Amino acid sequence: MKQSLTYILFLFPAILYTQAVDSETIRQVDSLIQVSRDLASKKDYARALDVNAVAEKIARDILGPESAAYGTTCYNHGRILHINRDYYEAELWYSKSIVIREKNQGKEPLDYASSLYYQALLYSDMSEFDKAESIYLKAKDISIKTLGKEHRIYSAILYSLIDLYKKTGQFEKAEPTYLESVEIMGKTLGKKHPDYARSLYNLANLYKDKGQYEKAKPLYLEAKDIIEGTLGKQHSDYTSILTNLANLYKDMGLYDEAEPLCLEAIEIGEQTLGKQHPEYARSLNNLANLYLKMGQYEKAEPLYLDALAITEQTLGKRHPDYARSLYALATLYYYKGQYEKSETLHLEARDIREQTLGKEHPDYANSLNALATLYYDMGQYDKAELLHLEAKDIRGKTLGKEHPYYASTLTNLASMYDNSGQYEKAEPLYLEAKDINEKTLGKEHPNYAISLNNLASLYYHTRQYDKAEPLFLEAIDITGKNLGHEHPFYSGTLNSLASLYHDMGQFDKSERLFLEAKDINEKTLGKGHPDYANSLNNLAVLYRNTGQYDKAASLFLELSTANKHLIERAIHHLSELELSNYLKSFSNHQDQILTLTKASNSKKLIASCYDNSLFYKGFLLQAANRMKQLVMIDEGSIQKYNQLKGYQQRLARLYTQPIAGFDSALITELENKSNKIEKDLARTVSGWAEANRQVQWQEVQASLQAEEAAVEFVHFRNYDKSKTLSIMYAALVLRPDMEQPHFIPLFEERQLDNLLQSQGSIKADNVNAIYSVAARGIKPVGEPVKSIFEPIWQPLIQELGNVKKVYFSSSGLLHRLNLGAIPISNDETLGDRYQLKCLSSTRQLVVPTNVETVAQNAILFGGINYEMDKTAIATANKNYDSDATATRENLSFSYAKSTTRGETWGYLKWTDKEVDNVETTLQKAGFQTDTRKGYSATEESFKAIGHNGKSPRILHLATHGFFFPDPVQKSREQFAMSNDDPVFKISEHPMIRSGLILAGGNYAWKTGKPVQPGMEDGILTAYEISQVNLSNTELVVLSACETGLGDIHGNEGVYGLQRAFKIAGVKYLIMSLWQIPDFQTQELMTTFYSKWLENKMTIPDAFNSAQQEMRDKYQNPFFWAGFVLVE
């Protein structure tokens, strides 16, 4: 018995004529109709229609097309099509019968009301609920006037209206209809009749759905007693009442009373319906839901899977019950920490609910709420907030603001605000949710305990410890009584209270609770769950802060392994953006581990820290490049990948539009489509699992030769006992003869921050202060230092010993330094003492960057004219396919009142000579060259590279570069209010705020438009560069200002041109850290190429030698130290 308990299509007997007509024709038509219905009941629809067609012909030919008999044959034709789900044909025949029966309604009002009823039922099945409601109400009025409220058709209409109101979430309309139905049934059938019990049951369901549990409970119990006494326990109605009563007890937190009812319902369903019935599947789902609430996940999963399979076989994949099964299983996987499975199932359930129930239905809101909670745990906070707000709006409208589900949405939204430090937003939401739960569920319900725990957490975060402790204790007491002492929520509340005691200095209490929570999580969730990882971290931090370093180290080692497993699972279902957000959630754990390593100097931890650096540093960049390589050899994925690139190229155009003109809807649509393809590729690309194997320090060590060393620089928040956070830098040093890596603490970030001006350009005075022996410019922290060499490198001297070659990977602000130019003495730099090789990660010694370079060719840009010449630029662009270059039509930039370079970009006369000199050197070495100068150096010509063939071995760009630091956090709407700044100065996307200027770029820079509609604007952003295929390019030379700058993002390094060219596939990259004069730049470049190609040096050796020659010529480091080589 479905919850709606509507009358099925064949509930009513055949509509027989009541008039005493002794006509043989009418008897013959009636007889044929009955045969047709018997065939339809046996699902022999084709023969049923054939027999009905004979009846139609007789009635139409003999009695006439407007006769009641012909109307009945039309009505029966529609019924057969309806039950065979041929809805659109059924609609035509029902409509025909209604027209005929309306004319005869004075004689046969039941016939007319029946036709209206079934047409409304048809529209309901077609999800055309507005049409259905209108016709139901018309049928209801006719029934009242002609047949009375006690007629069975009137009851049927009421039931169907109730079902419609429930489907559409119109509970305020459903309740009075239910009450009327109960009253009628009681009067006409008596209060011991099964139909009266059904009306009670339906009303109880409504109250349960509205969260009015105390009203629902007595109605369920009364209905149960009536059905048991009249139909017996083996009847399906009895099973349905058991199931819903069990669900009520579950929602009320009465789990011990719910379980036996669920088990009884399953047993009866198996005996009476069999295991392949939708009701049996619902019973399985209900028991699984109960076990989920009780935290018994291993019992729940097989039940959910069985229920899902049965529902698919019996109802199909587009049914709301199938969506409900998906949703339930997805919720289980969320609690088990299996986010990939959870998201996939939740999205499928959401889509089915949207299509079948609509966006205003409570079940649709449930899907939004579940997805929001999942995305929040995956670090996708903006997406989570929007979904929570939408769910809150729907639940408020459909369920009312006193419903427990509405309280749940308030709680989830408040938790987001709480954890992001927006306490003033969180507290009123927590308090409102608490009041709702207290009023509707009572103070002994687990949901009330959740409210107490969340409010206590807020007070803990705001250091109101005296308010937090009693709330935590009350929540633990309620949870223990109702859920037991092995439930994940019980362990979560223990963990919260333990954290409070830790911060209050009550370490003994804290330890006991942390240990108990850890044991529960291990037992109920397993060691692969994020909650277990958090338990390890919390306990380890306690032991570190109490000086128990050995215990802390063991836990942190286990935590490192657990976190890597979680990330390795995530990489197989998350897009790059989602993975980036997810990785941020692990940064605190890494900081805690490095803090202990600094304090304890534990050998095991040091080795783990090196492995962690290999794993995390450049993780996203490495993953993106590996994905691109795999896609190119996986035929099944190339089409998807090309589609992804198309979306990304369109986004590149949209991202550079002014904030005020942003097409946010289109951007969101394209981002979502790109996201989906990236996720699909992560799931399906062949070899993806093998491509992401971990590299360990032993492999790096094995790659080192004698007199070589590998250095991983790291930076981290240092959590000392005083709770004053500082950013510390350290080095992990590895030589071939070491037993394991060594950990060397270096300096605090503030020692360099002022000097480097991390939020802007480095000036000449800063350069002299950085790269000189005397202490100029460094703001003292503690004892003043003599030079920048002391904090960064002097601590490494002893560890390096007689090492001559150092492979190093930078971190944090060290990306802004040329380490080779740091002076050791007045006449020696680090580059003199060591052969320094800068890598994105020393992982590259084990997994090198391979570039297939066959052709000896080069493309050079220089001597560029930045002013407009519409004809010249348009002529130059005729050589390049506009489709290949992803043309941005009507692109506009806001006028920049000021930039670090003035309002326009000046002509760089020495770049003309530079590319001529480089071209000559390349041609002597046998290279084919393509030099693009003046108006020919267009953005279109750059984007065409690698489109129809392999990219050049060398790409040389002698032009202006730009970088704007991360703007103050503002919304797009705030930016739109003041649009004087260029979009690449204020964009949220770091790779839009960095780029190169090409031909005609000044026009767009000043006017906000390209030289000509349909053309590129001449401002090439890093994001656009990342979309170009440079997988065959060995070397890119960025002979431009500040091309090495960009936002520094944790372990991912610099987001700017450097990252863009790495994504594009380049092996070596030469770039600048500040604005180097034009003449000295061309001089360095010419010297470098000569040493590389004529003297046959390697690229790193040629670069170092050229820089040494410049240093000999120019004593001031401003003229020679600005360029760096990165592999």
- Asked if 658 and 744 sit in the same domain, the reply is no
- Bridge partners of 838, per DSSP, are 808, 1126
**More confident position, 617 or 885:** 617
Asked if residue 734 lies in contact with residue 1041, where contact means CB atoms within 8 angstroms, the answer is no
pLDDT of residue 245: 92
Give the Cα separation of 174 and 159 in Å (integer). Answer: 10
**More confident position, 806 or 188:** 806
pLDDT of residue 876: 55
Say if residue 1012's pLDDT is above 50. Answer: yes
What are the φ and ψ backbone dihedral angles of 577, each rounded to 5 degrees?
-65, -45
Structure tokens of 326?
């998906």
Say if residue 14's pLDDT is above 80. Answer: no
pLDDT of residue 368: 94
Q: If you average pLDDT over residues 566-580, what whole number do you get?
A: 76
Q: If you average pLDDT over residues 681-710, what whole number do you get?
A: 79
pLDDT of residue 349: 93
pLDDT of residue 888: 20
- Asked if 778 and 900 sit in the same domain, the reply is no
Among the residue ranges 78-82, 393-397, 625-629, 1099-1103, the one predicted with the least confidence is 625-629
Say if residue 707's pLDDT is above 80. Answer: yes
CB atoms within 10 A of CB 812: 21
- Asked if 774 and 896 sit in the same domain, the reply is no
The total domain count for the chain is 3
Among the residue ranges 428-432, 659-663, 1033-1037, 1104-1108, the one predicted with the least confidence is 659-663
| Residue that finishes a domain, picked among 817, 845, 873 | 845
Residue numbers of the domain that contains 645: 623-691
For residue 261, give the 3-state DSSP assignment.
helix
The conformation of residue 1093, written as its DSSP 8-state character, comes to: I
- Asked if 932 and 799 sit in the same domain, the reply is no
pLDDT of residue 410: 93
- Of 714-723, 929-938, 971-980, which one has max mean pLDDT? 929-938
Q: State pLDDT tens for residues 188-197.
A: 888 898 888 8
pLDDT band at residue 459 under the 50/70/90 scheme:
very high
- Asked if 781 and 812 sit in the same domain, the reply is yes
Query: Positive or negative CA dihedral for 1003, 1008, 1013, 1017?
Result: positive
Give the Cα separation of 929 and 859 in Å (integer). Answer: 6
Q: State pLDDT tens for residues 1035-1082.
A: 999 886 656 555 566 665 566 788 888 888 888 998 888 777 778 888
Asked if residue 303 lies in contact with residue 259, where contact means CB atoms within 8 angstroms, the answer is no
Tell me the three-class secondary structure of 524-563, residue by residue: HCCCCCHHHHHHHHHHHHHHHHCCCHHHHHHHHHHHHHHH
Say if residue 766's pLDDT is above 90. Answer: no
Structure tokens of 127?
């999800």
For residue 1058, give the 3-state DSSP assignment.
helix
- Asked if 1033 and 1080 sit in the same domain, the reply is yes
CB atoms within 10 A of CB 782: 7
- Asked if 1066 and 1005 sit in the same domain, the reply is yes
pLDDT of residue 610: 94
| Type of residue found at 423 | Y
pLDDT, mean over the chain: 81
Q: If you average pLDDT over residues 14-36, what whole number do you get?
A: 67
| Residue that finishes a domain, picked among 845, 870, 885 | 845
Q: If you average pLDDT over residues 986-998, what whole number do you get?
A: 78
Instruction: Report CA dihedral (892, 895, 901, 904) to the nearest 10 degrees.
Output: 70
pLDDT of residue 759: 43
Give the Cα separation of 571 and 693 in Å (integer). Answer: 12
- Asked if 641 and 662 sit in the same domain, the reply is yes
**More confident position, 574 or 67:** 67
Q: Does residue 1079 form part of some domain?
A: yes
**More confident position, 780 or 406:** 406
- Asked if 779 and 876 sit in the same domain, the reply is no
Structure tokens of 251?
């929602």
Residue 538, CA atoms < 13 Å, CB-side half-sphere: 29
Q: State pLDDT tens for residues 322-371.
A: 999 999 999 999 888 888 889 999 999 999 999 988 888 889 999 999 99
Q: If you average pLDDT over residues 642-646, what whole number do you get?
A: 73
Q: If you average pLDDT over residues 549-572, what whole number do you get?
A: 87
Among the residue ranges 558-567, 818-827, 974-983, 1107-1116, the one predicted with the least confidence is 974-983
Angle at 255 between CA 250 and CA 256, to 5 degrees: 145
Give whole-number Cα distances, 669 to 157, 579, 673, 890, in Å.
Answer: 43, 19, 6, 20
pLDDT of residue 885: 32
pLDDT of residue 663: 64
Q: Does residue 129 form part of some domain?
A: no
Asked if residue 240 lies in contact with residue 261, where contact means CB atoms within 8 angstroms, the answer is no
- Asked if 789 and 873 sit in the same domain, the reply is no
Give the Cα separation of 1017 and 997 in Å (integer). Answer: 9
Element (H, E) at 857: strand 857-864
pLDDT of residue 973: 41
For residue 1097, give the 3-state DSSP assignment.
coil
**More confident position, 252 or 20:** 252
pLDDT band at residue 691 under the 50/70/90 scheme:
low
pLDDT of residue 882: 41
Give whole-number Cα distances, 866 to 163, 1000, 1005, 1082, in Å.
Answer: 69, 4, 10, 19
Give the Cα separation of 746 and 428 in Å (integer). Answer: 45
Q: If you average pLDDT over residues 242-249, what whole number do you get?
A: 88
Residue 509, CA atoms < 13 Å, CB-side half-sphere: 14
Closest CA to 1061 of 616, 621, 618: 621
Q: Are strands 1046-1048 and 1054-1056 parallel, antiparallel or unpaired?
A: antiparallel
Asked if residue 600 lies in contact with residue 553, where contact means CB atoms within 8 angstroms, the answer is yes
Q: State pLDDT tens for residues 379-419.
A: 888 888 899 999 999 888 888 888 888 898 899 899 889 98
Q: State pLDDT tens for residues 525-553.
A: 788 888 889 999 999 999 999 999 999 99
Q: State pLDDT tens for residues 845-901.
A: 987 766 566 678 999 999 999 887 655 555 555 555 443 332 222 222 222 333 333
Q: Does residue 701 form part of some domain?
A: yes
Give the Cα separation of 204 and 190 in Å (integer). Answer: 19
| Type of residue found at 668 | T
- Asked if 779 and 881 sit in the same domain, the reply is no
Q: How many residues does the chain have?
A: 1127
Q: Does residue 820 form part of some domain?
A: yes
Q: Does residue 715 form part of some domain?
A: yes
Q: Does residue 30 form part of some domain?
A: no
Say if residue 243's pLDDT is above 50. Answer: yes
Q: Does residue 818 form part of some domain?
A: yes
Residues 6+ apart with CB under 8 A from 815: 1044, 1048, 1053, 1054
Residues 6+ apart with CB under 8 A from 664: 972
Give the Cα separation of 584 and 602 in Å (integer). Answer: 25
Query: Positive or negative CA dihedral for 608, 614, 619, 624?
Result: negative
Q: State pLDDT tens for residues 305-323.
A: 999 999 999 889 989 999 9
Residue with tokens 């037991």: 484
| Type of residue found at 1030 | L
**More confident position, 785 or 1124:** 1124
- Bridge partners of 1126, per DSSP, are 838, 1069
- Asked if 703 and 687 sit in the same domain, the reply is no
Asked if residue 775 lies in contact with residue 784, where contact means CB atoms within 8 angstroms, the answer is yes
Asked if residue 482 lies in contact with residue 444, where contact means CB atoms within 8 angstroms, the answer is yes
Query: Positive or negative CA dihedral for 808, 811, 816, 822?
Result: negative
Give whole-number Cα distances, 194 to 188, 198, 200, 229, 394, in Å.
Answer: 12, 6, 10, 9, 35
pLDDT band at residue 1113 under the 50/70/90 scheme:
confident
CB atoms within 10 A of CB 917: 18
Helix (H) and strand (E) counts in the chain? 49, 18
CATH of the domain at 985: 3.40.50.1460
Estimate the share of the chain in helix, then strand, then coil, as percent rounded to the nearest 5.
Answer: 60, 10, 30
Q: If you average pLDDT over residues 696-723, what whole number do you get?
A: 89
| Residue that finishes a domain, picked among 691, 711, 731 | 691
Angle at 808 between CA 806 and CA 813, to 5 degrees: 135
Q: Does residue 205 form part of some domain?
A: no
pLDDT of residue 22: 40
What are the φ and ψ backbone dihedral angles of 574, each rounded to 5 degrees?
-105, 145
Give the Cα separation of 713 and 112 in Å (integer). Answer: 84
- Bridge partners of 731, per DSSP, are 713, 744
Residue with tokens 């080192």: 704
Give whole-number Cα distances, 916 to 248, 859, 920, 1082, in Å.
Answer: 83, 12, 6, 10
Q: If you average pLDDT over residues 121-142, what whole number do you get?
A: 83
- Residue 547: left if φ>0, alpha if ψ -120 to 50, beta else—which one? left
Displacement of CA 28 from its chain's centroid (Å)? 66
Say if residue 608's pLDDT is above 90. Answer: yes
Give whole-number Cα distances, 331 to 336, 346, 373, 741, in Å.
Answer: 9, 8, 10, 43
Residue with tokens 């587009």: 318
